[in-house]
Amino acid sequence: MMDFGFYLTPSSTIELDKVDRKAVDDLARADSGFRTCIACGSCTASCTAGVFAETSVRRAILSVLNGRDEKAMDLLSSCMLCGKCMMVCPRGINTRHLILSLQKYYNGK
Ligand code: SF4
Ligand code: SF4
C-alpha cells in the first residue's frame, strides 16, 4: 500500500457499502433535513446543551448517513429540544422535528 504519511484508524473507517440504506431512506422520508443539511455546523455552534455535553445535530446527521445510528443517538441524548438550532439553520431545517424523527425511529426498533 502506498504511504501517504497518514492513515485511517479502524474506528474512523466508514464502510459505505455496509451502511443500512433503508434506515437512511426511511429517515429522509420522515424528515427531508437528512438530505438537505449542508453540515455547516451553525446548529452545533449555537446549541444550548453543547456547553455541557457532546451534543451536535450536524454530527448526528452525518452519523446517520455513515451508518452509525448509536453514535447519532448519543450525540442527541442531552438535547433539550429548545429549538435554538432551528433558528440558525441556513437551510431552514426543522431540527426539532428531525431530532424527534430520529429518536422515534431508533427507539421504536
Ligand atoms: S445548521 Fe442546518 S444545515 Fe447547518 S449543519 Fe445544522 S442542520 Fe445542517
Ligand atoms: S434543540 Fe437540542 S440540539 Fe438544538 S440547540 Fe436545543 S439542545 Fe441543542
23-55 tens-digit pLDDT: 899 999 999 999 999 999 999 999 999 999 999
Residue 10 has pLDDT above 80, yes or no: no
Cell 485511517, residue located:
8
Longest dimension (CA), the chain: 48
| Domain containing residue 77 | 20-107
Any atom of ligand 1 within 6 Å of the Cβ of 43: yes
Residue 15 located in a structural domain: no
Rounded mean pLDDT of the chain?
91
Cell of 88: 440558525
Of the two residues 12 and 48, the one the predictor is more confident about is 48
**9: confidence class by pLDDT, cuts 50, 70, 90:** confident
Residue 109 has pLDDT above 90, yes or no: no
Residue 25 located in a structural domain: yes
Residue 7 located in a structural domain: no
Residue 11 located in a structural domain: no
Closest ligand to Cα 50: 2
Mind listing the pLDDT tens digit for each residue in 54-69?
999 999 999 999 888 8
Going by alpha carbons, the residue nearest to atom 4 of ligand 1 is 40
Structural domain count of the chain: 1
Residue 12 located in a structural domain: no
Residue 1 located in a structural domain: no
CA of 108 to the centre of ligand 1 (A): 25
Residue 4 located in a structural domain: no
Cell 500500500, residue located:
1
Of the two residues 19 and 82, the one the predictor is more confident about is 82
Residue pair 75/56 in contact (Cβ under 8 Å)? The answer is yes
**21: confidence class by pLDDT, cuts 50, 70, 90:** confident
Residues with CB under 6 A from ligand 2: 43, 47-49, 55, 57, 79-85, 95-96
Q: Looking at the CA of residue 85, tell me the nearest atom of ligand 1.
A: 1
